[in-house]
């Protein structure tokens, strides 16, 4: 009886997409926090280059 209930719990895939999306968001946030200074530097360089160019 207990083994059958455990198998039923692990066989149930409802909500797996939500868990996967949550894990992907958590990984993206962790990477953003780890590489925050590099990302900030890159964005500032790109916008600085656009501002210095003659697009305006």
Residues 23-48 as b/e (b if ≥16 CB within 10 A, e otherwise) read: eeeeeeeeeeeeeeeeeeeeeeeeee
**Residue whose pair of structure tokens reads 């200074």 in the numeric block:** 37
**Residue whose pair of structure tokens reads 């939500």 in the numeric block:** 18
pLDDT at 6: 75
pLDDT at 7: 78
Give the global pTM. 0.57
- For 34-43, the pLDDT digits (tens) are 999 999 999 9
Q: Measured in Å, how far apart are the chain's first and last C-alpha atoms?
A: 73
Higher pLDDT, 46 or 8: 46
């Amino acid at each position: 009886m207990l083994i059958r209930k455990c198998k039923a719990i692990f066989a149930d895939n409802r909500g797996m997409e939500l868990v996967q999306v949550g894990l992907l968001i958590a990984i993206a946030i962790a990477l953003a926090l780890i590489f925050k200074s590099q990302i900030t530097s890159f964005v500032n360089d790109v916008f600085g280059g656009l501002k210095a160019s003659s697009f305006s």
